[in-house]
Amino acid sequence: MGALTGPIAATVFGITLLSSGLASSTTGTLAGQAIMEGLLGTKVNVYVRRLVTRVINVFPTVTAILLGVSPLSLLVYSQVVLSIMIPLPMVPLLYYTSKRECMGEFVNRKATTFIALAVAGVIIALNGYLLLSL
């Protein structure tokens, strides 16, 4: 990137990429903690949780780089996988938020559910097209 836009832009891009990775790792760790505590009904040692999360986050990337995979290719493929995985939880979320038994007075209106399902469908279809065009 530095050759195209200069060293300052490359540095800013690197810092924002690192910051985004740290933020997503933190969010994933906290979400995993909440889910584990809810499912297991017990707290997990903070150091064990951090170790497991770091190994899961870092090990595949380090292995791929040591095997000679281009870091740029890793970045592109990770973003493709994220673009596919992020919209998938929208479908059950929309399902449960449209049920009065789950949401009570906060249930989605029919129009909201319809529009949200249409948007989710478009996003999932575009991701399918992305996969087929690779």
Q: List, for residues 27-65, the tens digit of each pLDDT value.
A: 777 777 777 677 677 777 778 877 877 787 778 888 888
The predicted structure's pLDDT at residue 107: 92
What pLDDT does 67 receive?
92
**Count of domains forming the chain:** 2
% helix, strand, coil for the chain, step of 5: 85, 0, 15
Task: Judge if 51 and 88 occupy the same domain.
Answer: no
Same domain, 59 and 26: yes
Looking at residue 134, the DSSP 8-state letter turns out to be: -
84: Cβ contacts below 8 Å, ≥ 6 apart: 127, 130, 131
d(CA 62, CA 39): 31
pLDDT of residue 84: 78
Phi and psi torsions of 107, nearest 5°: -60, 145
Question: Considering only CA atoms, which of 24, 81, 14 is closest in space to residue 53?
Answer: 24
Shared domain for 3 and 56, answered yes or no, is yes
Give the mean pLDDT of the chain.
82
**Residue given tokens 């690192």 in the structure block:** 18
Residue 54 shares a structural domain with residue 103: no
Over range 95-111, report the average pLDDT.
Answer: 90
Q: What is the pLDDT of residue 61?
A: 81
Q: What is the pLDDT of residue 3?
A: 64
pLDDT at site 114: 94
For residues 79 and 47, state if they share a domain.
Answer: no
